[in-house]
Amino acid sequence: MEVSVGSSGCASFRITVHADRKLEYQVGCTTGSEYYFVNLERGKFQSELDSVQLEQIQQLFQWVKPEKLASAYAVNWTDAAMVWLGAEYGDSKVLRIKDYGGRAT
């Protein structure tokens, strides 16, 4: 299972959890494909989850029942951030959700 969560705008971030327990975290303002802190320092980090943490994420993902989620959600006001949730799981199943306002996913 691989899960990515990201947001738009200057205060952007992306978290990717890989099946091998590796964790990538990018934070800051985006300029193309680069991620920067507000002070223009690059903000890309790596870590590793332990087995229990990865199992908790997998259980939560199964509990959510990804096949029943809509492909897009939105709040009813403007000037909100866009959040994307992406996951590759099971036998080549792919989940992509666009969430304007970040309230649904």
pLDDT at residue 56, as a whole number: 93
Concatenated DSSP letters of 13-79:
EEEEE-TTSEEEEEEEEEETTEEE-TTS-B-EEEEE--HHHHHHHHHHHHHH-GGGS-SEEE-SSSS
Q: Is the pLDDT of residue 51 over 90?
A: yes
Is pLDDT larger for residue 21 or for residue 2? 21
Three-state DSSP state, 4: strand
Q: How far apart are CA 61 and CA 57, in angstroms?
A: 6
**Mean of per-residue pLDDT scores for the chain:** 79
Three-state DSSP state, 101: coil
Which of 2, 9, 31 lies closest to 83 in space, CA to CA?
A: 9
Neighbours of 88 (CB within 10 A): 15
68-80 confidence digits (pLDDT tens): 999 999 999 988 8
